[in-house]
Amino acid sequence: MAEKRDYYEVLGVDKNASAEEIKKAYRKCAMQYHPDRWVNGTEQEKKDAEEKFKEAAEAYDVLSNPDKKSRYDQFGHAGMGGAASDFSGFDISDIFSHFADVFGGATGGGFSFGDLFGGGGMGGGQRVRKGGNIRIKVKLTLEEVANPTEKKVKINKFVACEHCHGTGAKDEHSKETCPTCKGRGQVYRQQRSMFGIIQQASVCPQCNGSGEIIKNPCPHCHGNGIVQGEEVIQLTIPAGVDNGMQLTVRGKGHAAANGGVNGDLLVAIEVADHDVFERDGNNLYLNYYISFPQAALGATVEIPTLNGKAKIKIAAGTQGGQILRLQGKGLPELHSRNVGDLIVNVNVWTPKSLTKEEKEMIEKLSTHDNFVPKPGKNERSVFNRVRQFFRD
């Protein structure tokens, strides 16, 4: 499955964009990729446009909602869970109905370019450059997964040139407005269609969307605005993360050339295998051995947990393979108050070698009726025990 694009990148806005800027950016994307614009395109072009249209709708659904946006800014796609709507199965008309307020009140699935433009045309603006993303891997122990964890990492990356402050210009007089786009960052052309005259915008080829050109470049960064550097970054990793999850740290990637916005730091989580516990989601599994006397007579034993020790009672007559559950002794669920359980598989230890005296004692006991195996219905099959465990 293709990796989801950053929602800010999808809409072409900065992470500090206002609600109105996000709304305008979505209107622009919806106009650009609406199926009516691609009615004469190839089948692949139509399919690509529809996918981008739905991708923009999903991005707007998150970034226009303060709660969803806050969670996304902190944890990226990994933190959304079911919070982001999936528009992949929606009809285009359903999406317009869903966001009717964006399109000036177009409801009931109806849509026109007049609704989309709102009488104001496409608008425009300087293109926001974004630095490249950086991907790193962070390895955690199960003990670290159980609680929010702080990690410091040193990253080699492009940083803003300290001499020109990332502008790429030698001084404040070394930049001038682009003569091609007059500082807008975009060039426009008009095209007549069945819907009337449509104005289309594209990135200015001379200034590459910045709206400015550099006459005298900075001698230290040669006009790029960025140089090689490093940064120590403090990561806050939430409790409950799992293998393969990716956290996004906004603005900690490569600096962008000529004063753009920084890329993001993408942190891939790797959880190390544990010597004692096995993990399955938020539950932990422990194989614990007891002696035959403990199984026969019962006992109180201490078992390990991620946070120390816990006492449990072994009932008299416990059979090997019995399963015990300690609620709340597993791992926390990501972004939730729920905590998994510790599942204890009790095994009865059989000595591998015996002294002469021990053999005589066991041989004597073996003649007693209590020591003849008499399994009950639920003890005949391990599958019965497992089924009963999950039924409970």
Q: Which among 114, 117, 96 has a CA at the least distance from the CA of 195?
A: 114
pLDDT of residue 82: 53
- Interval 191-205 mean pLDDT: 72
Per-residue pLDDT tens digits for 22-42? 988 988 888 788 766 676 678
134-140 and 265-271 strand pairing: parallel
- Written as six digits, the tokens of 82 are 């079911």
Per-residue pLDDT tens digits for 166-192? 888 988 888 899 998 888 888 888 777
> 43 versus 143: which is more confidently predicted?
143
- Written as six digits, the tokens of 196 are 């009337």
Bridge partners for 302 per DSSP: 311
Measure the CA angle with vertex 209, ends 207 and 211; round to 5°: 65
Question: In whole numbers, what is the pLDDT of the chain averaged over residues?
Answer: 82
User: Cα(26)–Cα(61) distance, rounded to whole angstroms?
Assistant: 10
- Written as six digits, the tokens of 354 are 């015996």
What is the CA 188 to chain-centroid distance, rounded?
37
- Interval 81-96 mean pLDDT: 55
Domains of the chain: 1-123 (1.10.287.110), 131-162+227-272 (2.60.260.20), 278-391 (2.60.260.20)
Contact by Cβ (8 Å): 216, 170? yes
User: Cα(218)–Cα(307) distance, rounded to whole angstroms?
Assistant: 56
pLDDT of residue 107: 36
Q: Which among 244, 236, 234 has a CA at the least distance from the CA of 279?
A: 244
Return left, alpha or beta for 301; rule: phi > 0 is left, psi -120 to 50 is alpha, else beta. beta
The 3-state DSSP class for residue 389 equals helix
The 3-state DSSP class for residue 150 equals strand
User: Cα(302)–Cα(310) distance, rounded to whole angstroms?
Assistant: 5
Q: What are the start-end ranges of the E strands in 238-330?
A: 246-249, 265-271, 278-280, 283-290, 299-305, 308-314, 322-326
> 115 versus 8: which is more confidently predicted?
8
How confident is residue 236, by pLDDT bands cut at 50, 70 and 90?
Answer: very high
Helices first, then strands: H and E counts in the chain:
10, 15
Whether pLDDT at 194 is above 70: no
- Interval 275-291 mean pLDDT: 95
* Mean pLDDT lowest among 96-105, 253-262, 263-272: 96-105
Contact by Cβ (8 Å): 191, 219? no
What burial class does residue 212 get, using C-beta atoms within 10 Å of its C-beta: 0-12 exposed, 13-18 middle, 19+ buried?
buried
- Written as six digits, the tokens of 312 are 């449990």
User: Cα(352)–Cα(199) distance, rounded to whole angstroms?
Assistant: 85
